[in-house]
C-alpha cells in the first residue's frame, strides 16, 4: 500500500528503466540493481528503523567505486557535515541524460548517496527537475528519522543534482 501510494503520488520517479546511452551506463551507473521503486518496496517490508538503517548502509556498499582523482573541492558537496563527493556526466542533446557517481566517508551517508543516485542517475535533465524528491524521502520516512545535519546534507545533494540538471538544459537552450 505504502509503495503503490508513492507510485501514484510521484509517477515521474517511477518510470521504468531510464533510457541511458551505453557509454553512460558503463561509465557511471552504479553496481546497484535497486531502483528507487525497489528501495521504497524494501523499506515498506522493513518494520524497524534499525533494519532500515542497516539496509541504507548496505545500499552504500553497492555503489560503484568513486575515482580518487574526483575527491576534490570541485566535486565536494557543500552543506554536508560528512565528506560527500558527487561527479556528474552529462550526455548530449537538448534534454541530456545525466549520470552521477557519489561517495561519502560515512556509512549511513554513503547509503543516502545511493538512494539519491537511484532516484536521479541516468535520467534526462527534465525528468530530474520533475521529481519531487522531498515527497519521496517523506514516503520513505527519512524526513522524520534523520538528524538535522544529515537532512541538510541530503537536501544539499539534491540541490546540487538539480543545479546540474538546470545547467545542462540551459547549456542546450531549453527552458
> How many CB atoms are located within 10 Å of the residue 68 CB?
7
The three grid cell numbers given for residue 134, joined into one nine-digit string: 522531498
Catalytic residue among 6, 32, 39, 80: 80
Order of all β-strands in the sheet with 97-104:
84-90, 97-104, 123-124
Q: CB burial class (10 A; 0-12, 13-18, 19+) of residue 16?
A: exposed
Q: HSE-up of 125 (CA within 13 Å, CB side)?
A: 23
DSSP 173: T
Whether 8 sits among the annotated catalytic residues: the reply is no
Number of neighbours of residue 118 by Cβ within 10 angstroms: 22
Question: Which residue reads 517523506 in cell numbers?
Answer: 138
Catalytically active residues, by annotation: 80
Amino acid at each position: 500500500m505504502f509503495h503503490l501510494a508513492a507510485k501514484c503520488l510521484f509517477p515521474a520517479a517511477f518510470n521504468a528503466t531510464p533510457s541511458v546511452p551505453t557509454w553512460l551506463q558503463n561509465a557511471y551507473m552504479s553496481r546497484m540493481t535497486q531502483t528507487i521503486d525497489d528501495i521504497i518496496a524494501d523499506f515498506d517490508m522493513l518494520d524497524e528503523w534499525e533494519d532500515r538503517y542497516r539496509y541504507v548502509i548496505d545500499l552504500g556498499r553497492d555503489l560503484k567505486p568513486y575515482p580518487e582523482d574526483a575527491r576534490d573541492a570541485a566535486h565536494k558537496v557543500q552543506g554536508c557535515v560528512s565528506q560527500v563527493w558527487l561527479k556528474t556526466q552529462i550526455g548530449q542533446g537538448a534534454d541530456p541524460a545525466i549520470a552521477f557517481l557519489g561517495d561519502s566517508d560515512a556509512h549511513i551517508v554513503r547509503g543516502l548517496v545511493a538512494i539519491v543516485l537511484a532516484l536521479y542517475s541516468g535520467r534526462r535533465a527534465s525528468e530530474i527537475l520533475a521529481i519531487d524528491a522531498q515527497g519521496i524521502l517523506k514516503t520513505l520516512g527519512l524526513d522524520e528519522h534523520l538528524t538535522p545535519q544529515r537532512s541538510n546534507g541530503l537536501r544539499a545533494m539534491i540541490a546540487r543534482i538539480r543545479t546540474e540538471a538546470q545547467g545542462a538544459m540551459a547549456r542546450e537552450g531549453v527552458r
